[in-house]
Amino acid sequence: MTTTYPRRPDPYAREFPAAVAVRPSAPPVTADEMGALCPTGALFAAADGTARLDRGRCVLCGRCVRVRPDVFAEAPGAETAVTAPAALVVPECAEDEAGLDRVRARLAARTALFRRSLHIRHVDAGSDGSEEWEIAALTGPVYDIHRLGLFMTASPRHADVLIVTGAGARGMAAPLRRTYEATARPVVVIAAGTDACSGGMWADTYATHSGVGGLLDVDIWVPGSPPSPFSLLQALLLATGRLDGSTDTTTPARSGRADGEEDTR
């Protein structure tokens, strides 16, 4: 019953449409039509007329795919977590690659000791509750993160990773910061869900900030409304150094064992 991911690719994770993509052969678009198409402002046009999509603002309503199927399409694959907000914008720009490589290298250096065991503290900073269902699924028999040495903890003093959900409620800013300050160092902060990445539909209102990026130094961004458990699991594997930050769902993650060593789990 338990998924074989990350030791081997999971067919469901590979085929699940966890994001929206811009078609490579899409016709030119204008800023006005992109602005009118998306309720969260996730779509815009580049200077050359190329459609661009910020997955950190996309709530997966599917409107762009229905109205402009010549430009947008569902993107199969649940590995959507990235290590920099610039990587949430697709199609990626070539000039961003060097900067993203530096971010990945810094994260890998900080998390070198996290390979075998990781404790996770979750904080709801104004979520609608959907992300919490997906996080809860991680401890069930299908995903079973305990098999990978990943455990939820009730105390930030025991935590290596802070998973933050929600649009960044203003009333949660101080408690969130206190939780972060109570964690051991190094700590990895994961913004889980579109609301946490950008504020989503509620960005910069009287009650919320524009996500949690302005409240904490976020290391890993997981788009989706809500993100798939596979996307959250990918983010945790990035935090442990078992993935290199790429989003190739056909390549199994490194297990941390030496070549030829038998897996006895």
Q: 130-137 vs 229-239: helix axis angle to the nearest 10?
A: 70
Please write the tens of the pLDDT for every residue from 202-250: 899 999 999 999 999 999 999 999 999 999 999 999 888 777 554 443 3
Q: Which amino acid is at 94?
A: A
**Alpha carbon distance 92, 79 (integer Å):** 16
- Asked if the model's pLDDT at residue 260 lies above 60, the reply is no
For residue 211, the enclosing domain spans 97-239
Beta bridge partner(s), residue 52 = 44
The enclosing domain of 198 has a CATH number of 3.40.50.12280
**Alpha carbon distance 177, 216 (integer Å):** 7
pTM for the whole structure: 0.88
Burial class (CB in 10 A: 0-12, 13-18, 19+), 254: middle
Residue 263 falls inside a structural domain = no
* Whether 165 and 225 share a structural domain: yes
Average pLDDT estimate for 142-167: 95
Cβ atoms of 89 and 55 closer than 8 Å: yes
* Whether 107 and 200 share a structural domain: yes
Residue 176 falls inside a structural domain = yes
The enclosing domain of 74 has a CATH number of 3.30.70.20
Token pair belonging to 89: 């914008």
User: Lowest-confidence range among 59-73, 76-90, 130-144?
Assistant: 76-90
* Whether 188 and 148 share a structural domain: yes
Please write the tens of the pLDDT for every residue from 78-94: 999 999 898 999 997 66
